[in-house]
């Protein structure tokens, strides 16, 4: 049975949400990875799904850290080349969950009325 593992990265930031989202998106692209989907939860959290070649993990670690995003130690450990031998695949799928630390109220979005 083949093992299917994921990168589960997480971090937090006090930076402005839209700016950090842009910086992280650029960092993911610059590392050779590609974004496949994302989910935004109000202005508190974003979860970005991506795919990356095993060979590009070190570059992803460097580009993400250059954004100022505070990655968890577990995330950093997953991205180190010392851990590369634990992966059974040359292409990996992953998620990056970013928590935005701020005092702003929840982001409210108008929901259009559905004709019924």
Q: What is the pLDDT of residues 12-54, one digit of tens each?
A: 999 999 999 999 999 999 999 999 999 998 888 999 999 999 8
3-state secondary structure of 89: coil
Q: Looking at residue 80, what DSSP letter applies?
A: S
Instruction: Examine the pLDDT at 9 and tell me if it is beyond 90.
Output: yes
Mean pLDDT (whole number) for 86-111: 79
pTM: 0.81
Taking alpha carbons only, the member of 94, 71, 96 closest to residue 13 is: 71
Strand order in the sheet with 91-100: 34-41, 45-53, 91-100, 6-13, 70-71
Instruction: Please answer whether residues 74 and 15 qualify as being in contact, where contact means their C-beta atoms are separated by less than 8 angstroms.
Output: no
Judged against a pLDDT cut of 90, whether residue 81 lies above it is answered with no
Q: Give the Cα separation of 46 and 65 in Å (integer).
A: 17
Share of the chain above pLDDT 90, in %: 59
Question: Does residue 3 have a pLDDT over 60?
Answer: no
């Amino acid at each position: 049975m083949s093992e299917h593992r994921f990168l589960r990265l997480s971090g937090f930031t006090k930076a402005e949400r839209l700016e950090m989202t842009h910086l992280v998106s650029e960092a993911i692209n610059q590392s050779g990875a590609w974004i496949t989907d994302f989910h935004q939860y109000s202005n508190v959290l974003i979860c970005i799904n991506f795919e990356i070649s095993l060979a590009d993990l070190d570059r992803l670690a460097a580009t993400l850290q250059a954004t100022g995003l505070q990655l968890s130690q577990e995330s950093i450990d997953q991205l180190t080349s010392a851990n590369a031998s634990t992966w059974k695949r040359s292409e990996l799928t992953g998620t990056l969950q970013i928590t935005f630390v701020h005092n702003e109220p929840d982001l409210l979005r108008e929901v259009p009325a559905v004709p019924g």
